């Protein structure tokens, strides 16, 4: 099987699996317990917090563990709503943001959705026009999950700071894939997830700059300093920490390798399959992402055909993930329904190799020809 859907989820790496195992069996203690078994679990959770904090350049007390990106996103937005903030976000966000914003709007909250340019980049002039000094929470993703476009995070951070507002970024796709520095980038809140970086599913975290003023997510015990109650997911947290350590080791070298492989894939597709067009930004995109529209095909059907060849890719359109209709991201980029339905997304990382790319391109070519023959 060839797996080119690394943006959907990833395989747990050996290091994470090995780090987790003791905490599923021998070291199963509750971190709140005062005896050795509990302390061992607590120490492992804190070690994970330290590793993660270092990876985004903050100190550990700013990291709060959650069940993943969706919970982290919901937490920040709920806090903003309860504090009476205006929420400024973009039309290309993940549904974890968009649907929560919709729910906030239904409860009378103030939400403004900013359009993007045709590459999916937020328009900074619109942000400046719509931000309300001392009132807005700006929530703009670090990098888009469909088209891979990297937002101008540092510029957004500067505008937010100038207006004495707060900046949240959904970095689920960017964390451990590109360098992140919450200080330099002016980020006040950051969401991330374990399963996109070869860690386990069901674990993530939220970085919070001013946690003294932050509202709890779940009420109950004193876990996560009373901010997110419930017995910690110790194996998950430990696994995520181990995965972060692996991912952050030689990150720039990994990025170069991924980019090289992705560019090779893109060049072959563009050269060998007529009628292709890359969606998203050519220059400011995640190193492992390729989103391409191919004339005469239907993305969701192509996913099925490729799956018959044991190649996992994804459609650019949301219907492939069980929802009707074209991708809201491609629509936000100004594409027609018809164009949006032609998109496929291939996402790789440095666990993929050139031979897999070559076989994928060959299968893609055959399947495109099948589509086009069928259409005649
Ligand atoms: N935000 C983005 C940009 C994502 O890509 C995803 C997952 O695909 C999420 C949020 C949700 O993360 P999780 O699956 O950890 O809840």
Report which ligand 1 atom has the smallest distance to the Cα of 145: 5
Is the distance from the beta carbon of residue 146 to the nearest atom of ligand 1 less than 6 Å?
Answer: no
Whole-number mean pLDDT of the chain? 96
Give the pLDDT band (50/70/90) at residue 325. Answer: confident
CA dist 342 and 94 (Å) reads 20
Rounded CA-CA distance 297/290 in Å is 17
Side-by-side strand order, sheet with 86-90 = 63-66, 204-208, 189-193, 166-170, 136-139, 86-90, 110-114
How far is the centre of ligand 1, averaged over its atoms, from the C-alpha of 274 (Å)? Answer: 33
Indicate if ligand 1 lies below 6 Å from the C-beta of 170: yes
Q: Tell me, yes or no, if 13 is annotated catalytic.
A: no
**Is the per-residue pLDDT at 376 higher than 60?**
no
Q: What is the pLDDT of residue 126?
A: 98
Is pLDDT at 319 greater than 70 in this prediction?
A: no
CB of 286 sitting under 6 A from ligand 1: no
How many A from CA of 201 to the centre of ligand 1? 11
Q: What is the pLDDT of residue 375?
A: 67
The pLDDT value recorded for residue 192 is: 98
Q: Is 204 in the pocket of ligand 1 (CB under 6 A)?
A: yes
Indicate the pLDDT class of residue 209, thresholds 50, 70 and 90.
very high
The predicted pLDDT at position 321 comes to 57
130 CB-contact burial (10 Å; exposed 0-12 / middle 13-18 / buried 19+): middle
Q: What's the pTM value of the predicted model, to 2 decimals? A: 0.97
Please answer whether residues 171 and 68 qualify as being in contact, where contact means their C-beta atoms are separated by less than 8 angstroms: no
Q: Is the CB of 68 under 6 A from ligand 1?
A: yes
Confidence of residue 373 (pLDDT cuts 50, 70, 90): confident
Residue identifier of the C-alpha nearest atom 9 of ligand 1: 69
Which pLDDT band holds residue 374 (cuts at 50, 70, 90)?
A: confident
List the residue whose alpha carbon is closest to atom 4 of ligand 1: 172
Q: What is the mean pLDDT of residues 2-7?
A: 98
Question: Of the ranges 47-61, 105-119, 297-311, 361-375, which one carries the lowest mean pLDDT score?
Answer: 361-375
Residue 240 CA, ligand 1 centroid: distance in Å: 15
Q: How far is the CA of 96 from the centre of ligand 1 (A)?
A: 7
Identify the band that residue 372 occupies on the pLDDT scale cut at 50, 70 and 90.
Answer: confident
Q: Is 92 in the pocket of ligand 1 (CB under 6 A)?
A: no
**pLDDT tens-digit series, residues 61-104:** 999 999 999 999 999 999 999 999 999 999 999 999 999 999 99
Average pLDDT over residues 171-187: 98
Q: Which tens digit of pLDDT belongs to each residue from 254-313?
A: 999 999 999 999 999 999 999 999 999 988 999 999 999 999 999 999 999 999 999 999
Q: Compute, in angstroms, the gap from residue 155 CA to the centroid of ligand 1.
A: 23
- Interstrand relation of 136-139 and 166-170 (parallel, antiparallel or unpaired): parallel
What was the pLDDT predicted at 323?
63
Atom of ligand 1 nearest to the CA of 201: 15
């Amino acid at each position: 099987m060839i797996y080119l859907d690394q943006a959907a989820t990833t395989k747990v790496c050996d290091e994470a699996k090995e780090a987790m195992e003791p905490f599923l069996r021998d070291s199963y203690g509750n971190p709140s317990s005062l005896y050795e078994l509990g302390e061992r679990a607590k120490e492992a959770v804190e070690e994970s917090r330290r590793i993660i904090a270092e990876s985004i350049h903050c100190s550990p007390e700013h990291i709060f563990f959650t069940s993943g990106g969706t919970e982290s996103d919901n937490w920040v937005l709920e806090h903003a709503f309860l504090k009476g903030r205006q929420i400024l976000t973009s039309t290309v966000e993940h549904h974890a943001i968009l649907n929560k914003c919709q729910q906030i709007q239904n409860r009378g909250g103030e939400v403004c959705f900013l359009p993007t340019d045709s590459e999916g980049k937020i328009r900074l002039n619109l942000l400046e026009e719509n931000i309300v000094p001392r009132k807005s929470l700006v929530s703009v993703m670090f990098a888009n999950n469909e088209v891979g476009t990297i937002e101008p995070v540092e510029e957004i951070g500067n505008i937010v700071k100038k207006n004495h507002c707060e900046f949240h970024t959904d970095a689920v796709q960017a964390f451990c894939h590109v360098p992140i520095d919450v200080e330099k980038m002016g980020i006040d809140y950051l969401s991330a997830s374990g399963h996109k970086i070869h860690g386990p599913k069901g674990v993530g975290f939220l970085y919070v700059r001013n946690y003294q003023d932050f509202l709890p997510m779940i009420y109950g015990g004193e876990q996560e300093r009373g901010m997110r109650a419930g017995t910690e997911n110790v194996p998950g947290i430990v696994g995520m920490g181990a995965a972060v350590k692996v991912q952050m080791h030689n990150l720039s070298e990994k990025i170069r390798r991924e980019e090289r492989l992705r560019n090779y894939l893109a060049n072959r597709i563009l050269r060998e399959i007529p009628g292709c067009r890359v969606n998203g930004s050519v220059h400011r995109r995640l190193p492992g992402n390729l989103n391409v529209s191919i004339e005469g095909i239907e993305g969701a059907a192509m996913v099925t055909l490729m799956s018959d060849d044991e190649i996992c890719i994804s459609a650019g359109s949301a219907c492939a993930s069980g929802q009707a209709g074209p991708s809201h991201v491609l629509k936000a980029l100004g594409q027609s329904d018809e164009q949006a339905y032609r998109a496929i997304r291939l996402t790789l990382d440095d666990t993929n190799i050139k031979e897999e790319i070559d076989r994928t391109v060959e299968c893609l070519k055959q399947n495109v020809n099948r589509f086009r023959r069928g259409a005649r």
